[in-house]
Amino acid sequence: MATAAPDRVLNAVLIGAGMVAATHAAALRDAAGLRLHGVWSRNPETAAPLATEHGARVYREMAEVAADREVDFAIVLTPPDGRVGLIDPLLAAGLPILMEKPVARSGAEARQVVDQCAAAGVTLGIVFQHRMRAASQVAARLVAGGDLGALGLVEIAVPWWRDQSYYDAPGRGSFARDGGGVLISQAIHTLDLALSLAGSVASVQAMTATTRFHTMEAEDFATAGLRFANGAVGSLFASTASFPGAAERITLQFDRASLHLEAGIMTVLHRDGRVETHGETATTGGGADPMAFTHAWHQGVIEDFADAIRHGRDPMVTGRAALAVHDLIDAITQSARTGQTTEVPR
């Protein structure tokens, strides 16, 4: 694993200039010891305004990114289709890659990306910024400490809203471009956070559908019963058809307390009567504006990735760790298709 000098400003390149690119550019602007060095997009005209705003260059070809010796790492923001081939020049150049979720359109394709990076000796991190919320980090410490007791029940809800104009964008909500709908494009963040706290899911019984509110190929509604490897049971509800949209929620029921995460706040209700809260209220992009959230969480992910490069350690969420949520989404999709309980690969 490559390392970088601890006192040198690291140069990042954005691969893709779509909806979330401005969030990453703002995060790099405010991050210590980092700068946006360049932007590549399939359509250079979309890259130019972002690059100009941040004093960065525009690359016409991916080969130019790979040949630029000033680049320290790449942040891949493109839709998940085609990533297997897209990252080849980055791997050949040995450039560390921070990749927006999902890793790819399916678990099998995601494994291919992860294996490609491992074979090339390239650090791969995944942007699951919900783990960077202050409340999420306190929750992780509390759960790991064991003082709450054994976990018995997990409740996961993602009651989001997207209007039809969101899905009118070419390829959005399709299997060919995105790999699916609400599960892989929206709920994946909450599912990843839930798995990081509750542990792996062993099996699922699920249903998915496309409601009358959207014209799209993939699902805008999913529900599932979950059986965790540690013996806990749980439920999932995820939707982009829940007008006007609300913050996602995770509730964990332990022997000695319940832990509830919602809108940036963690509340712990201890069975002895104590109540504790952590975090601060934040918008999460659950309503009509999918970008209605702070860039601070992305900044935390990028700073962690840069620190990993500097010190030769793993980033907060590695590509291999991200396979767990891909496997869960695949199992939910398969269970919904077959109507049968489906095992989640270990």
State the Cα–Cα distance between residues 75 and 15, nearest whole angstrom: 6
Identify the pLDDT of residue 249: 98
Q: Are the C-beta atoms of residues 99 and 73 closer than 8 Å to each other? A: no
CA atoms within 13 A on the CB side of 44: 7
pTM for the model stands at 0.95
Identify the pLDDT of residue 6: 65
Of 250, 37, 265, which Cα lies nearest the Cα of 133?
A: 265
Question: 91-102: per-residue pLDDT in tens?
Answer: 999 999 999 999
User: What class, spelled out in words, does domain 10-129+298-316 have in CATH?
Assistant: alpha beta
- b (16+ CB within 10 A) / e for 35-55: ebbbbbbeeeeebeebbeebe
Residue 136 confidence (pLDDT) above 90: yes
Identify the pLDDT of residue 225: 98
Question: 13-63: per-residue pLDDT in tens?
Answer: 999 999 999 999 999 999 999 999 999 999 888 999 999 999 999 999 999
Question: 293-337: per-residue pLDDT in tens?
Answer: 899 999 999 999 999 999 999 999 999 999 999 999 999 999 999
Q: Which residues contact 130 (CB under 8 A, 6 or more apart)?
A: 136, 189, 190, 192, 193, 297
Question: 60-90: per-residue pLDDT in tens?
Answer: 999 999 999 999 999 999 999 978 889 999 9
Residue 291 confidence (pLDDT) above 80: no
Q: CA 286: distance to chain centroid?
A: 15
β-bridge pairing 73-76 and 97-100: parallel
What sections of 146-208 are H helices per DSSP?
164-167, 182, 188-198
Cα Rg for the chain, rounded, in angstroms?
A: 20
pLDDT above 70: percentage of residues in the chain: 97
Identify the pLDDT of residue 341: 98
Identify the pLDDT of residue 3: 64
Residue 2 confidence (pLDDT) above 70: no
Strand positions, DSSP E, 77-165 = 97-100, 124-127, 151-159
In the sheet that holds 10-15, the strands lie side by side as: 57-59, 34-40, 10-15, 73-76, 97-100, 124-127
For residues 256-266, average pLDDT: 97
- DSSP H or E run through 113: helix 107-120
Q: Which fold has domain 131-290+324-343?
A: Dihydrodipicolinate Reductase; domain 2 (3.30.360)
Which long-range contacts does 242-245 make (Cβ < 8 Å, 24+ apart)? Answer: 242/159, 242/160, 242/161, 243/161, 243/213, 244/161, 244/287, 244/288, 245/159, 245/160, 245/161, 245/162, 245/286, 245/287, 245/288
- What's 88-111 look like in SS3? HHHHHCCCCEEEECCCCCCHHHHH
For residues 177-199, average pLDDT: 98
Ordered by start, the domain boundaries in the chain are 10-129+298-316, 131-290+324-343
Identify the pLDDT of residue 1: 53
Mean pLDDT of the chain: 95
Residue 140 confidence (pLDDT) above 70: yes
Residue 114 confidence (pLDDT) above 90: yes
Residue 234 confidence (pLDDT) above 70: yes
Residue 290 confidence (pLDDT) above 90: no
Identify the pLDDT of residue 4: 62
